[in-house]
Amino acid sequence: MSLYSQRGVSAQKEEVHAATKKLDKGLFANAFCKIYPDYLGNDANWVNVMHADGAGTKSILAYLYWKETGDISVWRGIAQDAVVMNIDDLLCVGIYDNLLFSSTIDRNKAIIPGEVLKEIINGTQDFFDTLKGFGVNIHYLGGETADVGDVVRSIAVNGTMTARWPKNKIISNDKIQPGDVIVGLASYGQATYERFYNSGIGSNGLTSARHDVLNKFYAEHYKETYEPSLNEEVVYIGKHRLTDKLTVDGGQLTVGELILSPTRTYAPVVKEILENHFDAVHGMIHSSGGGQTKCMKYVNDNIRIIKDNLFTPPVIFDLIKDASGADDKEMYQVFNMGCRLEVYTNEKDADSIISIAEKYGMEARVIGRVEESGKKELEIKVHDSIIRF
């Protein structure tokens, strides 16, 4: 059993998928988010989408960082994580404007004071204000903030996003076909709309990152940050403190700054891609939970996806891999490994899509292709080896 499983989490969420297997898949079975008829406006030419996601266990890392450094602004990154995990999923079905957002914050009031709530709520609005400057309008409709210390040990930051969108402007992934190429957009670096270097970690796999990278100091001093029934052999087994410094791209960043990099949104880039090249986009995949294997859930049968030109994983993933001892297959199943958005397109349109990303200071390139196959397959080239799923 992997360390990930021993800690009570699952990269593939098999039991969740089994529980929801019989639910209606909506209007487009392969779409990255479920698409509903227009129940809000009752117009056959429009659709509705409601999506829920959040920052996950990254909030525990924010708690540790805040307690150790006193930097309460770290919670603004968690606010961004909760929003981006919603909007970047919706980007993959073609939706990028006029969205409604409602937050859900569950906290243990005994250890999470009102000042933290203020940072999260104000940070959410500030992030919306930033996106508005790029023509991505998200309307903050409030939400639920609950004191539930018997349910959560520290805090959980989540949200729900809703949109009404023209049906003929939906990306359903049904057009993904043999002959397509896959344009990958990097999750790391510093885009023109980001204020700091982004490690690329996103908001997935943070249970592994936290316990594998950080040392027993945190188990001894912050017992409220982990489930007490866990075997001590899987709790904070790394060698680092959050304040340890590492060299990244010629500069110095702490482990905490790397592991808590706010999840990058691709909204400004995708908005421009869809407004100028909508017909060229055959599908999009947000490589979040499930990492580089996420694409397998959203393509037709009889397709082989080959990723043989992925980015060299940024330093955060080397740090996690070295600390955990995970093999390449597990790493690529859990983490985005430096590429969190995939655009499936014609070979002739790939350069136009890449140039838009590069205009925003974001690395992008063709990372692979789609071939015909007798069954649904995925191949990922790592170094000189091929990993098959």
Answer for the pair 50, 33: CB distance below 8 angstroms, yes or no.
Answer: no
Q: Is the pLDDT of residue 16 over 60?
A: no
372-385 average pLDDT score: 96
Q: Give the pLDDT confidence score for residue 12 in this predicted structure.
A: 53
Reported as half-sphere exposure (CB side, CA atoms, 13 A), residue 75 has a value of 25
> Where is pLDDT greater, at 10 or 93?
93
- pLDDT class for 223, splitting at 50, 70, 90? very high
Structure tokens at 146: 């609950």
Under DSSP, is residue 287 helix (H, G, I), strand (E, B) or coil? coil
Of 123, 164, 119, 117, which Cα lies nearest the Cα of 144? 117
Q: Is the pLDDT of residue 1 over 70?
A: no
Residue with tokens 């639910």: 23
CA dist 237 and 215 (Å) reads: 5
Largest Cα separation within the chain, whole Å, is 58
Q: Is the pLDDT of residue 90 over 80?
A: yes
Q: Give the pLDDT confidence score for residue 3 in this predicted structure.
A: 60
- Of 16-20, 163-167, 255-259, the range with the lowest mean pLDDT is 16-20
55-78 average pLDDT score: 98
- pLDDT class for 250, splitting at 50, 70, 90? confident
Q: Is the pLDDT of residue 116 over 70?
A: yes
Average model confidence (pLDDT) across the chain: 94
Q: Give the pLDDT confidence score for residue 5 in this predicted structure.
A: 62
Crossing angle, helix 206-213 and helix 315-324, to 10 degrees?
60
228-244 average pLDDT score: 93
Residue with tokens 């266990």: 57
9-25 average pLDDT score: 64
Domain 24-196+261-388 has CATH 3.30.1330.10: yes
> Where is pLDDT greater, at 185 or 22?
185
Q: Give the pLDDT confidence score for residue 23 in this predicted structure.
A: 72
Structure tokens at 324: 């955990």
- Of 21-25, 193-197, 211-215, 241-245, the range with the lowest mean pLDDT is 21-25
352-370 average pLDDT score: 98
Of 40, 60, 61, 62, which Cα lies nearest the Cα of 49? 40
Burial profile 305-340: b = 16 or more Cβ within 10 angstroms, e = fewer: bbbeebbebbbbbebbbebbebeeebbbbbbbbbbb
Q: Is the pLDDT of residue 100 over 60?
A: yes
The pairing of strands 303-307 and 377-382 is: parallel
Of 214, 168, 225, 196, which Cα lies nearest the Cα of 324? 214
Helix or strand (DSSP H, E) at 50: strand 46-54
For 149-176, write each residue's pLDDT tens digit: 999 999 999 999 999 999 999 999 999 9
Amino acid present at 275:
E
Answer for the pair 376, 385: CB distance below 8 angstroms, yes or no.
Answer: no
Crossing angle, helix 267-277 and helix 74-91, to 10 degrees?
20
Strand partners, 303: 372
Helix or strand (DSSP H, E) at 343: strand 339-345
- pLDDT class for 251, splitting at 50, 70, 90? confident
Residue ranges of domains in the chain = 24-196+261-388
Q: Give the pLDDT confidence score for residue 14 in this predicted structure.
A: 64
Answer for the pair 173, 32: CB distance below 8 angstroms, yes or no.
Answer: yes
